[in-house]
Structure 1
């Protein structure tokens, strides 16, 4: 029986996740509750949410709907603490495509929140799930799910395997610097990192994405540009700049535009530049 493909995006999910502020706080402790309150203040600031909705709609969701291989599920995980107007907006964006599941959960841990829906999709374990991760400011190249289906078929004999498309595009705009455009070539960067876990209790978020290639048999597909990542001032990730051996190569705009049109035809260069400067 063929494995099922399931993508997962945490959209302003108010859980422990990988926020540094939770480090050293115990489950159920007052320190954890205080950390959660501070995280909520950051997550649900209107200016942050507006920025996230722009990239989620123009990049993340657009790439999901543009995949050449349409056989997959995509879960968007958020929390009931999201302000009602924004939650309604998210519901509208996720409606109308049966592959897209909006999951609203008050569970404090990502795996706990995902468990019921993953069990439903897998028919209580009848199907194995190959899970990929995608942030709400990133998107996938149009060949991604087709490549992941091929990888899942190739990895059927393993009880667990991991997958990455190491090549992609990355654009950045940080304070004090001009917008920059890069090709990234880095196995198991976060955008599109995938795993078929051994245990139904595990998800793609059970593992650090760079740890996947050190823990499990893995398959890399460098033939296509698998992802486009947006790195902006104020986003949750650390700034990306070229350093020796870190897989970033600066691209001139004509080369970048050519690659964008080929692998990400759902987003125009002018639209991407608007997102960079918003």
Structure 2
């Protein structure tokens, strides 16, 4: 069964943000601010992409949606980063209605619209465990009768870590949070054009049956100053504890997220860095 992961990288959608902007120009100015793009690229390089590249089941497609207006230096850095990841496909599109554009991009990646598929959503500063794709396939197989009976079935792994990255390495704390939008997927029957991005991640249980797994740790949820959810007024700081060597080793083994690489990337000057 085809598996498609979907990631928006600073795509200037109409809608789809918790914090609204006055117009499209204001949204693009925010998304494309050099300091923000530099941080997003560093997080994508050190948190998101390593977990995608290390999947024990490599048979999947990872669609990265960008705006066709993404500044060329950022686009070049992104292209350099994904060059060694065969699953990664960059899809550049003009601004449009958020859910419609995401749905179209995902359906464009489906090899056979008449066949069922598995779809997972992913943010550019999050990570999934290296066996996530394998676990997702197994979950769909275990729930074959449920998937056959419903147009859409949701799968959600609710245990992971909240993390932040900087020049000193990685900070993290364990969390259990259902329907958080990371390590979350849908089984989509053949012929169904709705996608994992047609539903708010916290509301999928209102629209379809869902299956929740409370183990093992399956995600790292990025926590940084440019999170969309942290742009609202009165959002309180949430400091995270610094990982020790054993904690760093555990992150490397479970998510392929390397604290030494984080220190190197965040301490260096901005610019294109191909994956080692």
TM-score, length basis structure 1 = 0.80
Q: Which moved more, 1:253-262 or 1:163-172?
A: 253-262
Deviation string, structure 1 residues 203-249 (Cα, Å, up to 9, x no partner): 2121111112343222223332111122112332236878xxxxxx9
1:172–1:97 distance in 2 versus 1, CA, 3 Å: closer
Match of residue 262 from structure 1: 253
Q: Which moved more, 1:9-18 or 1:191-200?
A: 191-200
Uncovered stretches (5+) of structure 2, i.e. residues with no partner: 269-276
* Contact in 2 for aligned 1:132/1:195 (Cα 8 Å): yes
Match of residue 188 from structure 1: 179
1:193-204 alignment to 2 at 5 Å? 193-197=184-188, 200-204=192-196
Q: 1:129 aligns with which of 94, 117, 122?
A: 117
Q: 2:223 aligns with which of 218, 224, 231?
A: 231
1:110–1:4 distance in 2 versus 1, CA, 3 Å: farther
Q: Which has the higher contact order (CA 8 A, sep 6+)?
A: 2
Report the count of equivalent residues. Answer: 256
Distance (whole Å) between structure 2 residues aligned to residue 188 and residue 162 of structure 1: 10
TM-score, length basis structure 2 = 0.80
* 1:164 correspondence with 2:162: no
Distance (whole Å) between structure 2 residues aligned to residue 187 and residue 20 of structure 1: 19
* Contact in 2 for aligned 1:144/1:226 (Cα 8 Å): yes
Uncovered stretches (5+) of structure 1, i.e. residues with no partner: 23-31, 243-248
Q: 2:43 aligns with which of 41, 55, 69?
A: 55
Distance (whole Å) between structure 2 residues aligned to residue 205 and residue 103 of structure 1: 15
* 1:75 correspondence with 2:73: no
